[in-house]
A and B are shown apart, each in its own frame.
Chain A
Amino acid sequence: MAVRRILVCGDGLAAQMALTALARQVAPDTAILWVRAGDQRDGDLLYGSVTGPSAYGFNLAAGVDERQLVLGSDAAFSWGTRYAAWGAGRSWMQAFALPFPVIDGVVFHQYLARTGAGGIDPYVAGLQAARRGVFVHPPREAGGQHPLARAEYGYQVDPADYAALFAAARPADRVEVVEGAFAGAEVAGGRIAGIRLDDGRMVTADLYIDASGPAAVLGSGAPDGRRIGMAVRNEAGADEAPLRTVTATALGWQSATPLKGRTLHASVYAPDRPDEGALGRRVEATLGRRAQPWVGNCVAIGQAAGVVEPLTPAPMLLLERDIERLLSLIPVTDDCAVEAAEYNRRFADDYDHADLFQRAFFAVDGLPDGPYWDAARAEQVPEKLARKISLFGNRGLLVAYDLEPFHPEDWIILHLGMGRRPRRYDRLADRADKAQVAQFLTGMAREIERAVETLPPARVYRQQLEQFLRKAAS
């Protein structure tokens, strides 16, 4: 039997993003139904307040272009996150970047190691722009020769506001909104037979998407990782700096995310030791992922499949990937066994690989003591992460696994930002003349510095862009 009806269950960011992406991408003769289930407004805070550069392409494919985002949401442009006081006086800027240049077959950071240059900061254009609080869209024309051509940006967002953007962007008649609220699911033979509503009616579909948050109303088998608490509040502010700041504290960490006209403040802590200074909305969650997000005819996405600490853009990256993976595997018949196996394999890889990146944050010395930090450090360093850290430390080598959500350049910036310096470098880097390498590096840093000097503050750039777009629209 063909898949003709897809039902999305949930009422938050994951449901809105999935509905809009489905509305845009599945065949018009496939019905898309939406049943509101639960309330994910508080839980959605755990998706965090930053997206990665992949959001641009994801949104475009879902029919949400950047003009809509600039005009219709509080989102701000983001070069990345600055991590401060991260143990032993450590602080660095985790900027987004396109791959660094490969020169004569040797990757860029090997030349840094060879010249003993240390950090990579002067060569990351987005990082230098963030330092000055300036922003422009990275110029991609001119054959990638512009000093900012390798910069990448994401967005700073408020999850509720971001969800509303997706809801507004889809044609009203494409999704059939089922009146009434979710009451329960009928299960038969390991598959969902239908959704029961609070007024007693039943709705059926061929494929069910569970986007109901950690409660996962259609699934079973909750994750069992450590628990965290989070408090979030807004503060007025016109700063709109194109970077988020995360600061380690004795209780956990705090973040400040500038948006259009306000700043979102969040604190993350151990649940039994709340940050008393942090007022605002509170939420608690158990971190971890499900073993099998796709069972029978039901696929859990977003927090229904796994909850990730919003320390990096990982939660948003994984939500995007869940939806993309689902779209690339929409089954043709209602026997979904093959699609489910592939979906589950890729889900587990994506989630576990994102987890490596986050766990790397705790694999350094000098972090505070206390319940939050002790719990985070108590988790074992996975063997894959140990290999990444040890091979980078040994010789600047990047061990990469399949299709990791965080790219080699993210790892280079992280390793170097945390103060890790390769003890040896790639012998191939010796083929280049040392003076020439030094000259190349100096030139590159100078060009970036000159280019960012002339850029407008992020707020001014956004205001001008908004004016331009309004004029163009009228």
Chain B
Amino acid sequence: MSAALLRRIVIVGGGSAGWMTAAALSSLLDPKDVTITLVESDAIGTVGVGEATIPDILAFNQMLGVSEAEFMAATQATFKLGIEFVDWGAKGERYIHPFGQHGVDMQGIDFHQYWLRARDDGAREPIEAYSLCALAAQAGRFALPDPNPRSVLSQIRYAYHFDATLYARFLRRYAEARGVVRVEGIVGDVRQGADGTIAGLTLRDGRTVEGDFFFDCTGFRALLLGETLSTGFVDWSHWLPCDTALAVPSEHAGPPTPYTRATARDAGWQWRIPTQRRVGNGHIYASAFQSEAVARETLLANLDASALGDPRRIAFKAGCREAFWRGNCVAIGLAAGFLEPLESTSIYLIQEGISRFISLFPRGDIPDILRTEYNRHMRTEFEQVRDFIVLHYAATTRDDTPFWRYCRTMTLPDTLLHKIELFRETGRVFRYNDELFARPSWVAVMLGQGIVPAACDPIVATLPAGDVAHSLASMRQAMAAAVERMPRHADFLSRYCPAVAA
């Protein structure tokens, strides 16, 4: 490690994490200066299932410079405008957590305060009636955002559903074209230097791979950061008790919806992620509260159409590594930590892990301050996402199963508890600056799951009722009219990015 520059980067493990890392690095580094090697084995499966994302992925694709239509066609992708939550706050209830915001803030006061005020005056429209993304999702329509900020359509925010295995394949083509070398093989031994940093890998067939810097993309196993460098795991399973997923694709029963669905079940929840050709399904549950047989039965009984194959079982534990960067090794993806995909954050956390690394791109000597900063930032990211996911379990009146009784009464992280209390009182939202899930997201989930403020903001309370009602009605009409004019999601897809044969 005496070299002034990192010359050899080694990525261990493929999958979304490995190939996203390879693609991002290869888009920035010249193969003449830095070699990038990715070691993976076809014999080791990846956890690739139907994957849902959040709008930040657009920035990642932009950084790579890939064409959206081409990427979507290659990965069977559909558009996503938000997530529909079913049976969370109480059985029989549903709401949409849309991308983008609700309504328009007026006079410096948050829109949801106006909505609360109108509700006090007797209005019954849900807050979703003021979200363009939620309305379009319900109507099965989609259009790209209008760059003109005056247009209602400028409020559209979107992400994608895609097939994670195809995504990894797409990124592999991209990365290999830019000089990334793929080595097929299984790691037998990790060799460490005298200072404890990683020096190289010996594969089972005896070949060796040397490197200056290593990315651990080995999934839950965390071969480098966990097993070799003995980095501990911070266990959050007392807040997020689900520990098993059963995943199975199924046929479509209708055109693909432009939203993800998450339905609460007796001991967990079930996802439904529509890609162009099929639907990804999965049941995430807590094995302490439900047997695998029952969980499997629940999953198969709740598909749109017939299953394509047998459900695959994946075990996990909620939490993250005590550090994400030790020595000359950074863990990305599941090796860094796992939070259930209730808010589609898996790809985002991979992306953030990579882009933070790039902004801190070290020389060969790697000063400690870079590791400290990286670890601090990533830990905050994980904790903030964790709090937002825990909110979904905590904000419920369900007590129909032991699982929900546990969730309803568990002790919450202080940061989350404070947020809930503040909102419950007058609908105020605890402010943090660079939180991934901003105010509209917290408002959507808290209102959607029955945390309704006792009163609205005292300042909004003094406005004339007629004025408030009038403003809200015109917003609603403008949005409804805009949705009418949007194309159907399925039609848009078939014109814009029809799937290519895999």
Considering only CB atoms, which chain A residue lies closest to B423 in the complex? A338
Identify the stretch in A150-158, A358-366, A386-394, A436-444 within 8 Å (CB) of chain B at 4 or more residues.
A386-394
Judged by a CB distance under 8 angstroms, whether A400 is at the interface is: yes
Indicate if the CB atoms of B434 and A329 lie closer than 8 Å: no
Indicate if the CB atoms of B62 and A105 lie closer than 8 Å: yes
Indicate if the CB atoms of A25 and B459 lie closer than 8 Å: yes
Indicate if the CB atoms of B458 and A402 lie closer than 8 Å: no
Considering only CB atoms, which chain B residue lies closest to A393 in the complex? B369
Judged by a CB distance under 8 angstroms, whether A342 is at the interface is: yes
Judged by a CB distance under 8 angstroms, whether A352 is at the interface is: no
Of the candidates B360, B369, B434, B454, the one whose C-beta lies within 8 Å of that of A402 is: B434
Name A320-340 residues within 8 Å CB distance of B.
327-332, 338-339
Question: Which residues of A lie under 8 Å from residue B428 when comparing CB positions?
Answer: 328-329, 342
Considering only CB atoms, which chain A residue lies closest to B424 in the complex? A338
Interface string of A418-443 (1 = CB under 8 A from B): 00000010111011000000000000
Interface string of A48-62 (1 = CB under 8 A from B): 000000000000010
Indicate if the CB atoms of B458 and A426 lie closer than 8 Å: no
Indicate if the CB atoms of A327 and B63 lie closer than 8 Å: no
Interface string of A385-409 (1 = CB under 8 A from B): 0010011001101011111100000
> Which of B63, B422, B428, B458 has the most chain A CB atoms closer than 10 A to its own CB?
B458
Indicate if the CB atoms of A338 and B421 lie closer than 8 Å: yes
Bound Cα distance A328, B431 (Å) = 12
Question: Which residues of B lie under 8 Å from residue A342 when comparing CB positions?
Answer: 418, 422, 428, 430
Judged by a CB distance under 8 angstroms, whether B108 is at the interface is: yes
A46 to B: closest C-beta gap in Å? 28
Bound Cα distance A138, B467 (Å) = 33
Q: How many residues of B contact A (CB 8 A)?
A: 33
Given A397-B360, A431-B28, A27 and B369 contact (CB-CB distance below 8 Å): no
A359 to B: closest C-beta gap in Å? 19
Bound Cα distance A332, B425 (Å) = 8
Indicate if the CB atoms of B373 and A427 lie closer than 8 Å: no
Indicate if the CB atoms of A338 and B369 lie closer than 8 Å: no
Name B379-432 residues within 8 Å CB distance of A.
418, 421-422, 425-426, 428, 430-432
Of the candidates A105, A338, A387, A401, the one whose C-beta lies within 8 Å of that of B59 is: A105
Question: Which residues of A lie under 8 Å from residue B28 when comparing CB positions?
Answer: 427-428, 430-431
Judged by a CB distance under 8 angstroms, whether A282 is at the interface is: no
Given A61-B108, A397-B360, A402-B433, A27 and B462 contact (CB-CB distance below 8 Å): yes
Judged by a CB distance under 8 angstroms, whether A190 is at the interface is: no
Bound Cα distance A342, B432 (Å) = 11
Question: Which residues of B lie under 8 Å from residue A236 when comparing CB positions?
Answer: none
Of the candidates A29, A327, A338, the one whose C-beta lies within 8 Å of that of B425 is: A338
Judged by a CB distance under 8 angstroms, whether A469 is at the interface is: no
B341 to A: closest C-beta gap in Å? 27
Indicate if the CB atoms of B360 and A332 lie closer than 8 Å: no
A63 to B: closest C-beta gap in Å? 13
Given A25-B459, A391-B373, A395-B360, A339 and B431 contact (CB-CB distance below 8 Å): no
Question: Which residues of B lie under 8 Å from residue A338 when comparing CB positions?
Answer: 418, 421-422, 425
Question: Which residues of B lie under 8 Å from residue A329 when comparing CB positions?
Answer: 428
Question: Which residues of B lie under 8 Å from residue A424 when comparing CB positions?
Answer: 363
Bound Cα distance A296, B394 (Å) = 29
Q: How many residues of A contact B (CB 8 A)?
A: 39
Bound Cα distance A387, B431 (Å) = 23
Bound Cα distance A387, B59 (Å) = 27
Name A104-151 residues within 8 Å CB distance of B.
105
Bound Cα distance A397, B367 (Å) = 14
A407 to B: closest C-beta gap in Å? 11
Considering only CB atoms, which chain B residue lies closest to A60 in the complex? B108
Q: Across the A-B interface, how many residue pairs have beta carbons closer than 8 Å?
A: 78
Bound Cα distance A185, B363 (Å) = 62
Judged by a CB distance under 8 angstroms, whether B474 is at the interface is: no
Judged by a CB distance under 8 angstroms, whether A26 is at the interface is: yes
Of the candidates A332, A339, A391, A395, the one whose C-beta lies within 8 Å of that of B454 is: A332
Question: Which residues of B lie under 8 Å from residue A428 when comparing CB positions?
Answer: 28, 63, 358-359
Bound Cα distance A30, B459 (Å) = 11
A396 to B: closest C-beta gap in Å? 10
Interface string of B422-461 (1 = CB under 8 A from A): 1001101011111000000000000000000011001101
Given A391-B373, A401-B433, A427 and B418 contact (CB-CB distance below 8 Å): no
Considering only CB atoms, which chain B residue lies closest to A335 in the complex? B425
Judged by a CB distance under 8 angstroms, whether A346 is at the interface is: yes
Question: Which residues of A lie under 8 Å from residue B372 when comparing CB positions?
Answer: 387
Indicate if the CB atoms of B425 and A387 lie closer than 8 Å: no
Question: Which residues of A lie under 8 Å from residue B462 when comparing CB positions?
Answer: 26-29
Bound Cα distance A253, B65 (Å) = 52
Judged by a CB distance under 8 angstroms, whether A250 is at the interface is: no
Bound Cα distance A428, B25 (Å) = 11
Considering only CB atoms, which chain A residue lies closest to B377 in the complex? A399
Name B105-143 residues within 8 Å CB distance of A.
108
A229 to B: closest C-beta gap in Å? 36
Given A105-B63, A403-B433, A26 and B459 contact (CB-CB distance below 8 Å): yes
Considering only CB atoms, which chain A residue lies closest to B108 in the complex? A61
Considering only CB atoms, which chain B residue lies closest to A423 in the complex? B363
Question: Which residues of A lie under 8 Å from residue B496 when comparing CB positions?
Answer: none
Judged by a CB distance under 8 angstroms, whether A341 is at the interface is: yes
Question: Which residues of B lie under 8 Å from residue A403 when comparing CB positions?
Answer: 431-433
Name B19-62 residues within 8 Å CB distance of A.
28-29, 59, 62
A186 to B: closest C-beta gap in Å? 26
Bound Cα distance A402, B433 (Å) = 5
A115 to B: closest C-beta gap in Å? 19
Given A28-B462, A330-B458, A332-B458, A399 and B434 contact (CB-CB distance below 8 Å): no
Question: Which residues of B lie under 8 Å from residue A341 when comparing CB positions?
Answer: 418
Considering only CB atoms, which chain A residue lies closest to B372 in the complex? A387
Name A1-20 residues within 8 Å CB distance of B.
3
Bound Cα distance A331, B459 (Å) = 11
Given A332-B455, A402-B431, A394 and B369 contact (CB-CB distance below 8 Å): yes
Name B341-359 residues within 8 Å CB distance of A.
358-359
Interface string of B272-297 (1 = CB under 8 A from A): 00000000000000000000000000
Bound Cα distance A458, B485 (Å) = 51
Question: Which residues of A lie under 8 Å from residue B425 when comparing CB positions?
Answer: 331-332, 338-339
Interface string of A210-242 (1 = CB under 8 A from B): 000000000000000000000000000000000
A299 to B: closest C-beta gap in Å? 15
Indicate if the CB atoms of A397 and B63 lie closer than 8 Å: no
Name A182-208 residues within 8 Å CB distance of B.
none
Considering only CB atoms, which chain B residue lies closest to A404 in the complex? B433
Bound Cα distance A431, B459 (Å) = 49
Of the candidates B422, B434, B459, the one whose C-beta lies within 8 Å of that of A327 is: B459
Bound Cα distance A328, B422 (Å) = 12
Name A39-97 residues within 8 Å CB distance of B.
61
Indicate if the CB atoms of A26 and B458 lie closer than 8 Å: yes
Considering only CB atoms, which chain B residue lies closest to A3 in the complex? B458
Indicate if the CB atoms of B62 and A400 lie closer than 8 Å: no
Bound Cα distance A330, B461 (Å) = 12
Interface string of A303-331 (1 = CB under 8 A from B): 00000000000000000000000011111
Indicate if the CB atoms of B369 and A427 lie closer than 8 Å: no
Of the candidates A3, A25, A339, A426, the one whose C-beta lies within 8 Å of that of B359 is: A426
**Shortest beta-carbon contacts, A-B, top 4:** A27-B462, A402-B433, A403-B433, A332-B455
Supply 14 A–B pairs (Cβ within 8 Å), ascending by A.
Answer: A26-B459, A27-B459, A29-B462, A332-B426, A332-B454, A342-B418, A346-B431, A387-B369, A394-B367, A395-B360, A403-B432, A427-B28, A427-B29, A431-B28
Known: A341-B418, A387-B373, A400-B434. 20 other contacts (CB 8 A): A27-B458, A27-B461, A29-B462, A61-B108, A328-B428, A330-B459, A332-B454, A338-B421, A342-B418, A342-B430, A387-B372, A390-B369, A394-B369, A394-B370, A397-B360, A403-B431, A404-B433, A427-B28, A427-B361, A430-B28
Which residues of B are at the interface with A, using a C-beta cutoff of 8 A?
28-29, 59, 62-63, 108, 358-361, 363, 367, 369-370, 372-373, 418, 421-422, 425-426, 428, 430-434, 454-455, 458-459, 461-462
